[in-house]
């Protein structure tokens, strides 16, 4: 069965600092991996995804993530945080053609001026 | 395209009342699903459908019913609301095909059961 663990329910950074949100997954088959962002009182928006091919994936708003099979990780990074990045971030895994997404519990990112 | 729409945005129910949360998409997506979001729990799958006439249970189906009579609509029914069903509910859809990967989410329905 697939599962996702997000390390740290709350991450706080200063504006301009590196953002690192951690995600580890478990899957019995090659996974599809996703990061979604949720701004206050809104639905979820796709940031980026890994399906096959290049393991470094670039997404919207300057975010990127690297799929590391040996570490079963898919950490999300951004070199320089902006105030507008404050939101909750969810990592999710899907096993191949199986439609079902399994989400992590989320990480709330706070950006301090 | 309007994408995935959900109604109502907010709802307050009393224990034991019934109601239907509406979800519709105009993208001809085959796959649709319902999630609930609770603080510290992430999103948990309630029910899903891989096409009209086909539904199945997710991780937390108890207390909820669904049906899929058309490709566009996927309503979620609470037959007898309980305070434990206080949550934010999201509907999502995906296009058809083996390469399907991205799910598109609606804006959510915030439900309070007193």
Q: Does B98 score more than 60 pLDDT?
A: no
User: Per the structure block, which two tokens stand in for B32?
Assistant: 């649709």
Rounded to a whole number, what is the distance in Å from the CA of A82 to chain B's nearest CA? 24
- Whether the Cβ atoms of residue A6 and residue A88 lie closer than 8 Å to each other: no
Q: Measured between CB atoms, which of A49, A100, A105 is closest to B40?
A: A105
Measure the CA–CA gap between A5 and A110, rounded to whole angstroms: 20
Rounded to a whole number, what is the distance in Å from the CA of A26 to chain B's nearest CA? 16
Set of chain A residues whose Cβ sits within 8 Å of the Cβ of B5 = none
Set of chain A residues whose Cβ sits within 8 Å of the Cβ of B58 = 100
Contact B48 A99 (CB under 8 A): yes
On average, the pLDDT of chain A sits at 92
Question: What are the Cα distances from residue A62, in Å, to A6, A12, A26?
Answer: 20, 18, 26
Query: Considering only alpha carbons, which residue of chain A is nearest residue B107?
Result: A43
Set of chain A residues whose Cβ sits within 8 Å of the Cβ of B4 = 43
The contacts of residue B41 (CB under 8 Å, 6+ apart) are A105
Pairing state between β A3-7 and B76-78: unpaired
Which pLDDT value is given to residue A101? 85
Q: Point out the least confidently predicted range of A36-45, A54-63, A64-73, A90-99.
A: A90-99
Place of tokens 């899957």: A27
Rounded to a whole number, what is the distance in Å from the CA of A99 to chain B's nearest CA? 7
A-B contacts at Cβ under 8 angstroms: 54
Q: Point out the least confidently predicted range of A46-60, A63-77, B73-87.
A: A46-60
Q: Which of B34, B16, B17 is nearest to B25 (CA)?
A: B34
Set of chain A residues whose Cβ sits within 8 Å of the Cβ of B106 = 43
Q: Does A105 score more than 70 pLDDT?
A: yes
Q: Does A75 touch chain B (CB under 8 A)?
A: no
Q: Tens digits of per-residue pLDDT, B66-96?
A: 999 999 999 999 999 999 999 999 999 988 7
Q: Does A45 touch chain B (CB under 8 A)?
A: yes
CB atoms within 10 A of CB B79: 12
Place of tokens 């990074």: A77
Rounded to a whole number, what is the distance in Å from the CA of A43 to chain B's nearest CA? 4
């Amino acid at each position: 069965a697939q599962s996702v663990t997000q390390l740290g329910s709350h991450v706080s950074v200063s504006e301009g600092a590196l953002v690192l949100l951690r995600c580890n997954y478990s899957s019995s088959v090659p996974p599809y991996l996703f990061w979604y962002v949720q701004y206050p009182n809104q639905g979820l928006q796709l940031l980026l995804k890994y399906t096959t091919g290049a393991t470094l994936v670039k997404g919207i708003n300057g975010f990127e993530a690297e799929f590391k099979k040996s570490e079963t990780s898919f950490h999300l990074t951004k070199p320089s945080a902006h105030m507008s990045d404050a939101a909750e971030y969810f990592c999710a895994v899907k096993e191949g053609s199986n439609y079902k997404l399994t989400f992590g519990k989320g990480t709330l990112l706070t950006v301090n001026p | 395209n309007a994408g995935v729409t959900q109604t109502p945005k907010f709802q307050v129910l009393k224990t034991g009342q019934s109601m239907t949360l509406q979800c519709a998409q105009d993208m001809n997506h085959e796959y649709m699903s319902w999630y609930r979001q609770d603080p510290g729990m992430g999103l948990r799958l309630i029910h899903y459908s891989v096409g009209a006439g086909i539904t199945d249970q997710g991780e937390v189906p108890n207390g909820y019913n669904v049906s899929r009579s058309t490709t566009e609509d996927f309503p979620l029914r609470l037959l007898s609301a309980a305070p434990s069903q206080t949550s934010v509910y999201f509907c999502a859809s995906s296009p058809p095909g083996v390469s399907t990967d991205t799910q598109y989410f609606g804006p959510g329905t915030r439900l309070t059961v007193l």
